[in-house]
Amino acid sequence: MPSVMLASTALILDRLVGTHFFNPAEGGDVLLWQHLFWFFGHPEVYLIFIPGLGFLSTLIATYARRPVFGYPAMVLALIATAFLAFGLWVHHMFATPLPELGKSFFTAVSLLIAVPSAVQIFCWLVTLATGRLWFTSAMLFALAFFVILVLGGMTGLMLGMVPLDLQLHDTYFVVAHLHYVLIGGAVFPLFGAIYHWYPKFTGRLMSERLGRWHFWLFFIGFNVTFFPMHLLGMKGMPRRVYTYAEGLGWDRLNLTATLGALLLAAGVLLFVVNAWRSRRDGAPAGDDPWRAGTLEWATSSPPNAGNFVAPPVVHGIEPQWQPPRQPSQVRGLALDKREVLVTSVLDAEPDHRLVFPTPSIWPFAGALATTVLFIGSIFTPWAAVWGLVPVAVALTAWFWPKPRDTGPSVALERAP
Amino acid sequence: MSLVQSLLHNEPALQQRRAAQQRVREDGAALDVSALPSFGFGHRSILWWATVGLMAIESTVFALAIVAYFYLRSQSTLWPPTEAPPLWRWGTLNTVVLALSLLPNWWAKQRAEALDRRGVRIGLTLCMLCSLVFLAVRGFEFGALNCRWDSSAYGSIVWMLLGLHTLHLITDTWDSGVLTVLAFTGPFELKRYVDVSENALYWYFVVFSWLPIYAVIYAAPRAW
């Protein structure tokens, strides 16, 4: 994010006030933009995955009915991915005139990312192999991840090599790769997560029969749409061009992809129908339809405001699967104030009580003022100057203690 | 247990906290937290984490701007291309002012952690005086850069570096100003001492991040 902030600021300054960051005529450099953009852009791809990986670990543990194997290894693998992610942005720039030796370094790091990814995948596979599997719709989407993402990861290794990338750069092969990675890594787990948590936030189950139809239409439709794009790319079809001449050998594969897209769309339509209908007509879910291990299944579906009457004390990662232990709940927080418990970071030891302020209009005013500032700054640099005033006013007013909050809060205060 | 270790320099607070937690643990099936304090300094506070997050993002912005500076320099045979390097005078003076401002800032932080309202008022007021001086000197710094932002890529990146840091001087002045006014007018709950203490952390960041930027703007055009 810092990188795209700096790059966008430089770009808009070039456009509005005549700076020369990216203007070669005055000593600027267009590749500087690419460096800054991809230094943000590649780690951002992993950022898209992270919720998906969390979904998967939850789904797999629940439907394999055992805690995820190798939890510390999974966490370390995630940290390793986050670390390596900052060292491979140049693999998006292999077609630019950079030193070849430097490119080899970025190839090496790009291939290295396969190691932590494999650690995670094998941990999940061991969990599956040693668990008792329950093939719900949510689980089907979780399992499809392995097929789709691994295929996308493999084409990623291919694209990480400079000679092959120069051949495939800006072709449909890249389009196929990124859809396998992103839809496999983010969308399949997301659908699984919706089937999994829908009963928690509505109190009703989604139809499993429609869920299966959705899954198979989506899975088959996805592959029929995007697999041919690998071949199209190798036959030289460029991406980012919406049309192509007849008779270049691309017609049949493109038609196949279009038919696949229809299947895929039909699957998503079934999902929408399922989600809409199940709101009222779905079977009542109860508190814990999947007999899952995590805390959200200990409260009602849908949960009351505040989730629990008294905050529960958690003694492990899957408290629902562990024998009850004392103490079981937190007492001593104000019931009529927004008082929360702040704990230590690693061991979650109770540390202090903190009273949050009551709702006010100021965060919304701050968001509005920020929006006006940024939209205005597209047109004039002065928007970035004068626009800061309402932002500062709104944020300060948000912060400034209100009498209705300070009175009750002072009564609860206690120095360490 | 990691947090207990960090509290070891403050033995009475540690004892009190241990006693409070012990009472909590022995009190039956429910975990009674009513005896816990209502705020904590340093990494016990959620404000500390927010400030550290902001510092992580902003120091990356500074680092990337410095990288961009040297990247653009590597594309140029002459650096600065045609302009004279910035005058030493105002930038160096400001470095001294910023370094001196560390003293009232450190003292305000100490007084805040001692829950001393009068000390906080004095410390923050001294900090505000420093702010006025370094913002004024910063104005002269812009005037002594010997380049315009639209003269060349060199001018653009120098203005970017100085502009980014100035933005932080302004936000730091504003934040501290709001806290100064609050320290005089109230309502000043005990948790506001945490605000003062963590705001001082941000002040440290703004001062220390200036040193590499100062070196780049003023020394790099003369270095070789």
Which of A5, A27, A326 is opposite residue B72, by nearest beta carbon? A27
Q: Residue A6's closest chain B neighbor by CA? A: B61
Structure token pair of residue A242: 């919406």
Please judge whether A2 and B32 are an interchain contact, meaning their C-beta atoms are less than 8 angstroms apart. no
| Residues of chain B found within 8 Å of residue A392, distances taken between Cβ atoms | 174
- Report how far residue B221's alpha carbon sits from residue B224's, in angstroms, rounded to the nearest whole number: 7
Q: Which residues pair with B170 in a beta bridge?
A: none
Q: Residue B34 has which token pair?
A: 């009513």
Using pLDDT thresholds of 50, 70 and 90, give the confidence band for residue A320. Answer: confident
User: How deeply is B9 buried, as exposed, middle or buried, from its count of CB atoms within 10 A (0-12, 13-18, 19+)?
Assistant: exposed
* Residue matched to tokens 């995670």: A120
The DSSP letter of residue A284 is B
Nearest-angstrom CA–CA distance, A203 and A351: 35
Query: Is B39 touching A (CB cutoff 8 A)?
Result: yes
Contact across the interface for B159 and A310, Cβ inside 8 Å: no
Cβ contact A36–B39 (<8 Å): no
A160: closest CA among A110, A98, A115, A118?
A110
Higher pLDDT, B18 or A208: A208
DSSP string, A4-39: HHHHHHHHHHHHHH---TT-GGGT--HHHHHHHHHH
Instruction: Give the pLDDT mean for A180-204.
Output: 95
Local structure of A307: helix, strand or coil: coil
Residue B69 has pLDDT above 70, yes or no: yes
Please report the pLDDT score of residue B13 as a whole number: 54
CATH T-level fold of B42-223: Four Helix Bundle (Hemerythrin (Met), subunit A) (1.20.120)
Cβ contacts from A onto B, under 8 A: 182
Evaluate whether A183 touches A210 at the Cβ level (below 8 Å).
no
Residues A274-318: tens digit of each pLDDT: 999 999 999 999 888 998 889 899 888 899 888 888 888 888 888
User: Interface pTM (ipTM) of the complex?
Assistant: 0.89
pLDDT value for B6: 41
Interface contact B3-A331, CB threshold 8 A:
no
CB pair distance less than 8 Å for B32 and A27 = no
Mark yes or no for CB contact B178/A413 under 8 Å: no
pLDDT for the residue B12 = 60
Q: Does B31 touch chain A (CB under 8 A)?
A: yes
Q: Which of B38, B44, B178 sits opposite A399 (nearest CB)?
A: B178
Q: Which residues of B touch A329 (CB under 8 A)?
A: 29-31
By the CB < 8 Å criterion, does B72 face chain A?
yes
Question: Across chain A, what does the average pLDDT equal?
Answer: 92
* SS3 (DSSP) at A290: coil
- Per the CB < 8 A criterion, the answer to whether A77 and A42 are in contact is no
Residue that wins the pLDDT comparison between B195 and B8: B195
DSSP designation for A318: S
pLDDT tens digit sequence for B122-181: 999 999 999 999 999 999 999 999 999 999 999 999 999 999 999 999 999 999 999 999
Q: What is the mean pLDDT of residues B79-89?
A: 90
CB within 8 Å of A108: residues ≥ 6 apart: none
Whether B165 has its CB under 8 Å from any CB of chain A: the answer is no
The CA distance from B71 to the nearest CA of chain A, in Å, is 8
**Residues from chain A contacting residue B71 (CB–CB below 8 Å):** 29, 32, 35
Contact B189 A6 (CB under 8 A): no
Cβ-count burial of A235 within 10 angstroms (0-12 exposed, 13-18 middle, 19+ buried)?
Answer: middle
Please tell me the distance in Å from A251's CA to the nearest CA on chain B. 45
Burial category of A374 from C-beta neighbours within 10 Å (exposed 0-12, middle 13-18, buried 19 and up): middle
Question: Of A148, A85, A143, A142, which Cα lies nearest the Cα of A114?
Answer: A85
Question: Out of A3, A328, A341, whose CB is closest to B33?
Answer: A341
Stated pTM of the model: 0.88
Q: Considering only CB atoms, which chain B residues are within 8 Å of A346?
A: 2
| Tens of pLDDT, residues A124-166 | 999 999 998 999 999 999 999 999 999 999 999 999 999 999 9
Pinpoint the residues of chain B covered by CATH 1.20.120.80. Answer: 42-223
Q: How far apart are the first and last CA of chain A?
A: 37
